Chain A
Amino acid sequence: MSVTTWGWLILAFPLAGSILIGLLYRVLPAKAAGAIGTLAIAAAFACSIAALLAMLGDPAEEREYANTLYDYAGAAGIPFELGIFVDQLSIFMALVVTGVSMLIHLYSFAYMGGDAGYRRFFSYLNFFVFSMLLLVLAGNYVLLIVGWAFVGYASYALISFWYRRKTATAAGMKAFVINVIGDIGLVFAAILLIKELGVSDYTSVFEKAPEAFTTNEWTIVAICLLLMVGAFAKSAQVPFHTWLADAMEGPTPVSALIHAATMVTAGVYLIGRSYPLFNLAPTAADIAAFIGLATLLMAATIALVVTDLKRIIAFSTMSQIGYMIVGVSIGAYSAGFFHLMTHAFFKALLFMAAGSIISAMAAIQDIDRMRGFRKAMPFTCAVLICGALALAGFPGTAGFFSKDEILSFAAVRGGMYWIFAVGGYLGAILTAFYSFRIVFRVVYGEPCEEAKELEGGHIHHAAPVNPATGETEDYEVGFPAEEHHIAEREWPMKIAMSILAFGALFGGLIQIPGVTDVLGHFLEPVFESSPIASTVHVSTTDAYIGMTVGGLCSLLGIGAAFYMYMVAPGSTLRLRDRFRGVHDFLFNRWYFDELIDAAIYKPVVACGRFANDTFERVVVNGLVRGTSGGVSGAGQIVKTAQSGFVRFYALLVIGGLAAVGLYFLLVAS
């Protein structure tokens, strides 16, 4: 079969799974729904591998395949076709997405057990994977927007999964609306591309763009900035990042899949995919890189102080995506995507471990309450440490190789790009610190009550209360299921986490500088026309210098965390009291939510209120009163006269119509 046939099949399985589970929700036993969902993704993964193998049969330069199903809505010179485009980049993304999704489905199969919405969950999850695959396989910018928005919807549905919770529905709404703003950016980017070039499919756009635009011409800069709006809304970069922390209201597997491993990396994919456009607009690319750097550092500082386990990991996600954005914006394409892959492994793993711990804590997420799970949950703690090591960039782990590849590229490119290397290493220290903050607080220390209870062989249970509001809830749709599942007792969770832990520890070995270059070599033809990639070469020596620095940063951060949490516990409290202002500033996430609330949400609501209370009543209804007054006097007379008038008019028209109708009949004979 041809590569594109496999491509369509990759899309077909998750969609079919989602629809099948949705239609059969009444008759399917819960576990069957989970099995169908997981198998559908496994089938998509198998198809991705088949497509890869089919692709590898062709010479490296000819690995681009496009196929159109039908003309979706072409008219008025707007090309709009339902077509896919498969090349090394999209197949790489498809492999990462289906592979990680498969494991997360497997994890959810056990983790979500007992939840009242079990079938619904798998239907949504399959739909998400379909949307994400549509996003990466779409053959043109307009279809990309469709996948883009479907992903946004799936994310909304899953964040609001426990829809009885007001905090969850509000978080879903926030995520959705911010994503729609991103969609609008993409829509205008597509409109400008179509207006200037008359085409929307990738191949033609990239062919025509260099002829149509001069470097840094305002049009192409505007297009790239608009693409960035879309990319940053999806990838939770400043200033569109506020939704991601709230998105942690969703079930933990959702956080792992959507808000860490796949969806949020869509922005990286978009910038990487559109690199010929960004090469024509270096200004836009530089802005993107700076925003990536700003997000990287800001999120890392917030992750230092937040106490909610899932939110720490969420801010860490933002920060890590900042690295990827920096990578693909400065020209380190394959490094950026390498980091995307390794991040998917270790971040999904961290969330899975966090989910297991949260289960043991009976849905409490505050790390201040957690302590000493070492003995109670040896497996979970082991994989948590694996994930934290990779995130911290501990020498030899996956995160170590991928992060350093980006940063040494920045250093070698030189000039102002040094800033990204310096900022990146600074971020690496913070990252190492907060990742081991989690480890030292959760794994080590004197066991907390819940951990002791678990050591005694019993999982802690608590009354269902929304941790965010303290509101009493119910198990049905407002609270994780009555039974909790921890990795120690569920083989599907264990398998999924073990595989990811392996990836987090050893996934970097495919890209050891001077030794292996599997991914870089595979992706090279995609980016070969980039002037940056062809001029900047990171020598093996440079790479090892970078890795030494990175390794030291990592050890420094881990060491600092060890000192503060293990050697001198309580020192963080003193620091907090000493720098109260800084702590509050960070803890409140730099007050971004308040800023947006005051600058956008409140004014719109105020406008609506004003329109409703004042304008509608005074002006619009005043107009009616004025009009009716003008028609026939005022007051009570108006009413009677009006209704009489209306009846008369009605009779006149009916009678008149009947008369002309008759006339017509007579004449037309």
Chain B
Amino acid sequence: MLTWIVFIPVAVGLIGFLLPSRIVGWWALLGTLVSLGLAISLVAGFDSSGGLQEVVDESWIPQLGVRFQLGVDGLSLFLVLLTSLLWTATVLWSALQYPDRPRNYFFMLGLAQTATLGAFLAQDLLLFVLFFDLMLIPFYFLIGQWGTGDRVRATIKMIIYTLIGSLLMLVAAIATAVLSADSVGGLTFSIEILRQVPLPTGSQYWIFAFFSLAFLVKMPAFLVHGWVADAYKACPLPVLVLLGGVLSKVAAYGFLRIVMPLFPDAAIQFQDLLLIAGVVSILYGSAMAFTQTDVRLIVAYSSIAQMGFITIGIFSLSGSGGDGAVIQMVNHGLVVAPVFLIIAILAERSGTEDVREMGGMARNAPVLAVLFVIVAMALLAIPGSANFVGEFFILKGVFETDVAIALIASIGIALAAFYSLRMYQRTMHNREAAPGVSREIALREAVVVVPLVLCIVGLALYPGLITTRGENAVDRSLAAVNPDPQPAPEAAAAADRGWTGYAPVAEGSAP
């Protein structure tokens, strides 16, 4: 089933080239709906006490030991669902707006979805790297061709940054396989096999550094976030939903999927460094979001802060920090998506994205205001939202690891309250809008935004949906680094029988 989930979007995109351009958007929507349906059935059939599930394991390039391995566990389960959901939203939104050159546009979206889902599901290191790099291409075209403003500069910046990261990661992945070849008996990229025999500490350190840099750039984190402002400004808003909502999560997910199991010594060694990087991202992102006047950039910098929270959660190297990071990844994607769509609505009405010139939108648009306020409250992680659960878990994990970091990080919460509300008030309140500017949300906008907001509310009512399913996978991911492991009994049992249920690839064997 996972193979279907991964490849349906790109196949749909390809078939789209044969269809009349009027209906290609609806065809793409059908494709994303099928993916969404599959993702939902994946969640429904998920066994929260089990390990890796729905495993696909095919020989691919036996000479290099590369296998086509897919699998889903508690780490990726809801990220797959989030990806499918946000792509559905974006495609529906775009289909209603009739973009230029629709065949190309929807093909690029499909390709991007395939790459993203592939990255979330890949269980082979090289396969992950390939999907991870593949994500870049459709976004390059989406921003470069359908973007606004200074998109050439934006795409170049983005490509330089992420390409360097990607190349480092490719080198690191190959090095991991080559260096472990002797100890695991042959060249293999299978994460499950590699994790059983960790590399010598010295190699772990530099490989860890390469992977971390790639992920931090993608996230983005402080100091390597130079591409963010331009890319966010140039990116078409529906695509920004994906860029801000999903792509950054691939990086955070990479830490849990790859870095923690494969380079545990390095993770422990550099824990403080990454905690500091995370906390500085929180403060810097918040302070920037505090002073921006461009609505998009407020969200962009707030994302840096939120990803900082996720980073410190992961690098608290504790169960609750990891659980918090997993749920927070989903929460953040789910919140950022409607924020960008609402920004699109506001920008369309007021003709500007500068908060100094906006305001008073709530006057004739109570429904829009309610939707926005729910989203803004979730963004600032008001207790009672699923975001609060994520932050609470993260803070608990960090608190037990390093009290000072937790206390400093909490400043970010207070600042988040300020910049989220500021964004809301400056756009919706404070003044009388110009005549005709304050208009209620239209049906074609509401069909996208309202379901997303309902998802936020639904998740707020029962965040346990994610935490109960993520717990085991987080414990497994952190098994090698958690100084105080408290694995659930089922997890311990699963570890005894090996967690994937398939045998390691023996030397020279082919299926």
Q: Chain A residues near B133 (CB, 8 Å)? A: 653
Q: Nearest Cβ in chain A — how far from B38, in angstroms?
A: 20
Stretch at the interface among A42-50, A73-81, A559-567: A73-81
Q: B149 — which chain A residues lie within 8 A by C-beta? A: none
Pick the residue among B366, B415, B429 that contacts A604 (CB under 8 A). B415
* Interface contact A73-B463, CB-CB below 8 Å: yes
The prevalent SS among residues of A at the interface is helix
The answer to whether B468 has its CB under 8 Å from any CB of chain A is yes
- Taking a contact as CB atoms under 8 Å apart, the answer to whether A646 and B140 are in contact is yes
Complex contacts, A400 vs chain B, CB 8 Å: none
Q: Decide: A623 and B320 in contact? CB cutoff 8 A.
A: no
- Stretch from B89-97, B255-263, B416-424 contacting the other chain: B416-424
The reply to whether the CB of A279 lies closer than 8 angstroms to some CB of chain B is: no
Q: Indicate if A128 sits at the interface (CB-CB under 8 A).
A: no
Nearest CB to that of A80 among chain B residues? B389
Are B392 and A142 closer than 8 Å at their CB atoms? yes
Verify A184–B410 contact, CB threshold 8 A: yes
**CB of B130 closer than 8 Å to a CB of A:** yes
Q: How far is the CA of A72 from the CA of B322 in the complex (A)?
A: 18
A77 touches which of B363, B370, B414, B486 (Cβ 8 Å): B486
Report the separation of the CA atoms of residues A52 and B172 in the bound assembly, to the nearest whole angstrom.
Answer: 67
* B138–chain A nearest beta-carbon distance, Å: 9
Given A164-B360, A608-B290, A668-B60, 13 other A-B residues pairs in contact with their CB atoms under 8 A: A70-B462, A73-B462, A77-B319, A78-B320, A173-B422, A177-B417, A177-B421, A187-B392, A195-B396, A605-B291, A620-B223, A639-B156, A660-B60
When distances are taken between beta carbons in the complex, the residues of chain B under 8 Å from A628 are: 156-157, 160
CA A65 to CA B73, docked complex, whole Å: 39
In the assembled complex, how far is the CB of residue A486 from the closest CB belonging to chain B, in whole angstroms? Answer: 29
Q: How many A-B residue pairs have CB under 8 A?
A: 209
Q: Which residues of B contact A605 (CB under 8 A)?
A: 290-291
The answer to whether the Cβ of A176 comes within 8 Å of any Cβ in the partner chain is: yes
Q: Is A643 an interface residue (CB 8 A)?
A: yes
Decide if B226 is an interface residue (CB 8 Å cutoff).
yes
Give CA–CA (A78, B395) in the complex, Å: 12
Q: Is the CB of A607 within 8 A of B463?
A: no
Mask of B429-465 contacts with A, CB within 8 angstroms, 1/0: 1111000000000000000000000000000001110
Contact with B along A626-669 (1 / 0, CB 8 A): 01100100000001001100100110011001001001100110
- Across-interface contacts of B386 in A (CB, < 8 A): 73
* A164 to B373 alpha-carbon distance, docked (Å): 16
A76–B223 CB distance below 8 A:
no
Counting CB contacts under 8 A, is A611 at the interface? Answer: yes
In the complex, A476 has a CB within 8 A of chain B: yes
Indicate whether B471 reaches chain A with its CB closer than 8 angstroms. yes
Nearest-neighbour CB distance to chain B for A659, whole angstroms, equals 11
Which B residues fall within an 8 A CB radius of A? 58-61, 68, 130, 133-134, 137, 140-141, 152, 155-157, 159-161, 163-164, 223-227, 229, 284, 287-288, 290-292, 318-320, 322-323, 327, 360, 362-363, 366, 370, 373, 377, 380, 382-384, 386, 388-389, 392-393, 395-397, 399-400, 406-407, 410, 413-415, 417-418, 421-422, 425, 428-432, 462-464, 467-468, 470-471, 474, 486
Partner of A608, one of B60, B164, B288: B288
How many A residues have CB within 8 A of the partner chain? 75
Which chain B residues border A74 with CB–CB below 8 Å? 464, 467-468
The answer to whether A188 and B410 touch across the interface, beta carbons within 8 angstroms, is yes
Chain A residues within 8 Å of B366, by CB: 25, 120
Smallest CB separation, A62 vs chain B (Å) = 31
Provide 24 A-B residue pairs closer than 8 Å at the C-beta atoms, listed in order of the A residue: A70-B462, A73-B463, A73-B464, A75-B467, A75-B468, A77-B486, A78-B392, A78-B396, A164-B363, A164-B431, A184-B410, A187-B383, A195-B400, A609-B291, A611-B291, A620-B225, A639-B156, A646-B156, A646-B159, A646-B163, A653-B134, A660-B60, A668-B58, A668-B59
Nearest chain B CB to A515 CB, angstrom units = 44
A652 CB to nearest chain B CB (Å): 10
Cβ of B432: which chain A residues have Cβ within 8 Å of it?
164, 474
Nearest-Cβ distance from residue A185 to partner chain B, whole angstroms: 9
**What's the nearest-Cβ distance from chain A to residue B57, in Å?**
11
Flag if B320 contacts A654 (CB, 8 Å).
Answer: no
CB neighbours (8 Å) of B318 from chain A are: 76
B430 touches A163 (CB 8 A): yes
- Rounded to whole angstroms, the CA-CA distance of A654 and B68 in the bound complex is 18
C-alpha gap A401/B126 in the complex (Å) = 77
Query: Which A141-177 residues have a C-beta within 8 angstroms of B?
Result: 142, 145-146, 148-150, 153, 156-157, 160, 163-164, 166, 169, 172-173, 176-177
Q: Which of B61, B140, B164, B430 has the most CB of A within 10 A?
A: B430
Least distance between B244 CB and chain A CB atoms (Å): 18
A664 to B69, CA, bound (A): 12
Query: Within the assembled complex, what's the spacing in Å between the Cα atoms of A516 and B322?
Result: 56
A163 engages B429 (CB within 8 Å): yes
A660 close to B360 (CB less than 8 A): no
Q: Which of A142, A169, A612 contacts B429 (CB 8 A)?
A: A169
Are A627's CB and B60's CB within 8 A?
A: no
Instruction: Name the contact of B292 in the complex, choosing from A70, A184, A195, A612 (C-beta under 8 A).
Output: A612
Which of A76, A160, A476, A621 contacts B323 (CB under 8 A)?
Answer: A76
Q: Which 7 A-B pairs have the closest CB atoms?
A: A608-B291, A75-B467, A76-B320, A149-B383, A163-B429, A76-B319, A73-B463
Are A72 and B462 touching (Cβ within 8 A)?
Answer: yes
Chain A residues within 8 Å of B60, by CB: 660, 663-664, 667-668
Q: Is the CB of A642 within 8 A of B377?
A: no
A477 CB, nearest partner CB in chain B, Å: 7
A188 to B431, CA, bound (A): 38
For B319, what are the chain A residues with a Cβ–Cβ distance below 8 Å? 75-77
Residues of B within 8 A of A177 (CB): 414, 417-418, 421
Which residues of A, 177-218, contact B by the 8 Å Cβ criterion? 177, 180-181, 183-184, 187-188, 190-192, 194-195
Query: Is there a chain B Cβ closer than 8 Å to A577's Cβ?
Result: no
The reply to whether A612 and B430 contact each other, CB–CB distance below 8 Å, is no
Which residues in A have their C-beta under 8 angstroms from that of B406?
Answer: 188
Of B141, B380, B464, the residue contacting A71 (CB under 8 A) is: B464
Nearest opposing residue in chain B for A473, CB measure? B432
Of residues A76, A149, A163, A607, which shows the largest number of chain B Cβ atoms within 10 Å of its Cβ? A76
Shortest distance from the beta carbon of B483 to any chain A beta carbon, whole Å:
15
Give the docked Cα–Cα distance between A77 and B392 (Å): 13
CB of A621 within 8 A of CB of B226, answer yes
Q: Which residues on B sit within 8 Å (CB–CB) of A192?
A: 399
A616: Cβ under 8 A from any B Cβ = yes
Instruction: Give Cα A184–Cα B429 distance, bound, in whole angstroms.
Output: 27
Q: Nearest CB to that of B360 among chain A residues?
A: A164
Q: Within 8 Å of chain B (Cβ to Cβ): is A624? A: yes
Closest residue of chain A to B293, judged by CB? Answer: A612
Contacts of B160 in A (CB 8 A): 624, 627-628, 631, 642
Knowing A160-B429, A476-B363, A654-B137, the reply to whether A176 touches B417 (Cβ < 8 A) is yes
Which residues of A are found within 8 Å of B163, using beta-carbon distances? 646, 649
Residues of A within 8 A of B161 (CB): 624, 627
CA distance A181 to B431 in the complex (A): 28
Q: From A607, A623, A653, A664, give the contact of B226 (CB < 8 A).
A: A623
CB–CB A173/B425 < 8 A: yes
Tell me the smallest distance from the CB of A57 to a CB of chain B, in Å.
33
**Cβ contact within 8 Å between B392 and A191:** yes
Cβ of A22 under 8 Å from chain B: yes
| Shortest Cβ distance from B68 into A: residue | A664
